[in-house]
Amino acid sequence: MITALAAAPAAPGFLSPTGVEIVFALVGIVTLGAAVVTVTTRQLVHAALWLIVALGGLAVEYLLLTAEFIAWVQVLIYVGSVVVLLLFGLMLTRAPIGRSPDADSENRWPALAVAVASAGTLVWVVVDAFRTTWIELDGPARGSTEVTGAFLFRNWVLPFEALSVLLLAALVGAIVLSRKGGRADATPTREDKR
């Protein structure tokens, strides 16, 4: 009996991290850094590119949590659609590419206070909501494609489609804003011909 106990592998302790947990922490630090650079940079295009890094880091975190469906939705919708739409909006509205003095409103300390208060409130709400929640490990994983897809398309079809209409409306709005004038401005009037 003693030899059987000695031969059994020791279970990892509570504070001994696995490789996945170390990668999760490192990707989380990179994602947090990219998010901070996104909101502190004065160049709009650089902010959009750092937003891609932050949203991509979130997708990697979802993959590490074995929620592959949510990870690919994050990549396709947020990185693939929202950020590309933001970049198209910047290009079509002729936003400044370099440093933009208009991007600095001199309200950094109030913005920091609001951000810290919002983060504290969000952490408190999430911890309070999930304090007594237990996850059953039997059956399919909760973040798997099968379970999440069935739940999404059974209960959340209308908001999912409303989001696609909203993205389309934003793209059309960016194109309309980028035009110099309508067709009436493009055709010369009688006074212009003389």
**Model pLDDT for residues 104-124, shown as the tens digit of each residue:** 667 778 888 998 999 999 999
Please give the single-letter amino acid code of residue 141.
Answer: A
Beta strand residue intervals within the chain, DSSP E: none
Which pLDDT tens digits describe the chain residue by residue (194 residues)? 555 545 555 555 555 678 888 999 999 999 999 999 988 887 878 888 899 999 999 999 999 988 888 888 888 888 888 888 777 777 777 666 666 666 666 777 888 899 899 999 999 998 888 887 776 666 666 666 777 777 778 888 888 788 888 888 887 887 887 776 555 444 555 555 55
Rounded Cα distance, 108 and 113, in Å = 9
Q: Record the pTM.
A: 0.59
Sign of dihedral through CA atoms 63, 69, 72, 74? negative
**Model pLDDT for residues 133-151, shown as the tens digit of each residue:** 776 666 666 666 777 777 7
